[in-house]
A and B are shown apart, each in its own frame.
Chain A
């Protein structure tokens, strides 16, 4: 089972993401953006890690979205292979139009706007541990395949542009109706509160992660590879079988590929 961890100029989480992939029993390698794109087809799944591809020039993710490897990833997504985009990887998937519906740029990840008591209290880059509620059905999405609806994970974010918006209300309605909202920012008890600090970036409907209609492509702003090992967690955060909750995302990918093969 081979996973390609895609590296663009400016990606900066590829090594820890590859460690997470390998810890979950998958083989993997870092795949540079300028390798022949047809070599991507040999892999069973893909992770686009976080960072600042092309220094976020023009806007986060848009330059990387024009690279030939992204056209190949679009084809592999249509073939049902799993793709997980983390943070900048999510921004690239949105700018390439692979998320949310595969039919063009239907969303934007705009600058963070933190609102409390109806007032803007902060804007821009923010780095913090967040609570995420898994809002999709079990087995709905490749990156949360083994999570039940309502389970809560503690995973950190670190971004300036994670405020998911759309110019078309129907896009958000369709995401809700089709069960494509995978993770929402929530309180420790799992309540969805639209204000900061629960909603860390002002994202519509507290959305932290979404999948495509088929469920094989997941984009999420939080960094599961930074909550993978127990030693990465704050001392009072709950461990999952001795690991951090971020491991579940990579375990899910492995399970998704195994079951798809059967």
Chain B
């Protein structure tokens, strides 16, 4: 099974604010971009276990700092709310941090059922106008992604 753990800041997200400011002040997106938010996504592949809730609790305890972060978990498909264009950005070159997280879970915490960990950022772009998806693609290619190491996809909302 795939456990999707989405994590976002309770405190102001300076990185999302910087992206919004850069788009508005430096890249000509005034009147187009209403807001930018950011989430961290960890997609954790695990063997089936008898008590998935207990595994999910253990994972969130290890991977989320609830003093400053909120989180949401879904098993299987990724669930996101409507109203924005979500752009998922991940590395296509080897992701050392994802490997470190997996090693930590398996080797240090003994969660032998974990098979893989993938990491991404989800940029939630709140866009005004006719063709928000093509605007989101342009923003991804102009700012959010360096194609020499990153890839992106627009997540289709249900």
Show the binding face of A for B, using Cβ within 8 Å: 54-55, 57-59, 62-63, 66-68, 95, 105-108, 110-111, 113, 120, 123-124, 165-168
Contact = CB atoms under 8 A, between A and B. Distances in A.
B146 A59 contact: yes
Contacts of A68: 26
Interface string B130-145: 0000000000000110
B88 to A, nearest CB: 15
A58 B26 contact: no
A58 to B, nearest CB: 6
B22 interface: yes
A192 B94 CA distance: 24
Contact of B96 (A62, A105, A123): A123
A58 B93 contact: no
Interface of B: 14-15, 18-19, 22, 26-27, 91, 93-94, 96-97, 99-100, 143-144, 146-150
Given A108-B148, A110-B149, A165-B93, A58 B100 contact: no
Nearest to B38: A58
B96 A57 contact: no
A167 B148 contact: yes
Nearest to B141: A105
Contacts of B96: 111, 113, 120, 123-124
Given A55-B14, A120-B96, 12 more contacts: A57-B19, A59-B150, A62-B146, A67-B26, A68-B26, A105-B146, A106-B148, A110-B93, A110-B149, A123-B100, A124-B96, A165-B148
A209 to B, nearest CB: 18
Given A66-B143, A113-B94, A123-B96, A54 B18 contact: yes
Nearest to A61: B146
Contact of A66 (B26, B99, B146, B148): B26
A165 B18 contact: no
Contacts of B144: 58
Contacts of A166: 148
Given A108-B149, A123-B100, A66 B27 contact: yes
Contacts of B27: 66
